Amino acid sequence: MAQSETVERILDAAEQLFAEKGFAETSLRLITSKASVNLAAVNYHFGSKKALIQAVFSRFLGPFCISLDRELERRQAKPENKPTLEELLEILVEQAMVVQPRSGNDLSIFMRLLGLAFSQSQGHLRRYLEDMYGKVFRRYMLLVNEAAPRIPPIELFWRVHFMLGAAAFSMSGIKALRAIAETDFGVNTSIEQVMRLMVPFLAAGMRAETGVTDNAMLTAQLRPRTKSSAPVPAKA
């Protein structure tokens, strides 16, 4: 078996199992069994489970961020045409449709993994994503900030995560939701149609007037994050 084929089989199995069972619940032995390879092959190609988790994300995010960065470059070359919130969200839809997951799975699997990255204790993964792709997403968020109303930075932070949460929930369960919609309304809705339906909904949420009244939240500013810094658990 060629090395590249072995790597793809391991990544395919890991992606599917991580999405089904979660990161902590998926052992390397489960992955090797599904991929029909031995444990030595995983250690040889990836070195550790953490590195394998990171590689699963990079397989989609690498091409996605390259494509997104090119599109942002093209847009910013015309500063007189500032993109609206709807246009910025459409850019994400377009890039997601162009850069299909290489595993052959639909986008729902990756969105499920993205949700797990924030809901499970995977600090190494969030640091890795920030190091590898933070520059592109900060560039994107700068445009979002310019298109959004003047809301406090901390509220923008939460709104972006509300947006991600809505997208992750809707897309991770897209097969079931499409089946329910077809049963109830007799109309088949494509994945692309669903994604485009989210655009005006998400844009309206980002554009809404601020709901912040607390002075500390109103004046809070983003602090520079070093590689050694880590999020501190919030107090109840």
Q: Which amino acid belongs to residue 29?
A: R
Domain boundaries, the chain: 1-47, 58-218
| pLDDT per position as a tens digit, 70-117 | 999 998 888 788 899 999 999 999 998 888 766 556 688 888 998 888
Does domain 58-218 correspond to CATH entry 1.10.357.10?
Answer: yes
Q: How far apart are CA 17 and CA 43, in angstroms?
A: 18
Contact 132, 57 (CB under 8 A): no
Q: What's the pTM value of the predicted model, to 2 decimals?
A: 0.83
Angle in degrees, CA 15, 18, 21, rounded to 5: 145
Q: Is the pLDDT of residue 223 over 70?
A: yes
Residue 236: predicted pLDDT = 44
For the segment 10-52, what is each residue's pLDDT rounded down to a tens digit? 999 999 999 999 999 999 999 999 999 999 999 999 999 999 9
**What pLDDT shows up at residue 222?**
83
> Do 1-47 and 58-218 fold alike per CATH?
no
> For residue 150, what pLDDT band results from cuts at 50, 70 and 90?
confident
Average pLDDT over residues 55-74: 94
**Residues 107 and 191: beta-carbon distance below 8 Å:** yes
All residues at 6 or more sequence positions from 187 whose CB lies less than 8 Å from its CB, including other chains: 181
Q: How far apart are CA 94 and CA 177, in angstroms?
A: 21
* CATH architecture, range 1-47: Orthogonal Bundle (1.10)
pLDDT bin (cut points 50, 70, 90) of residue 123 is confident
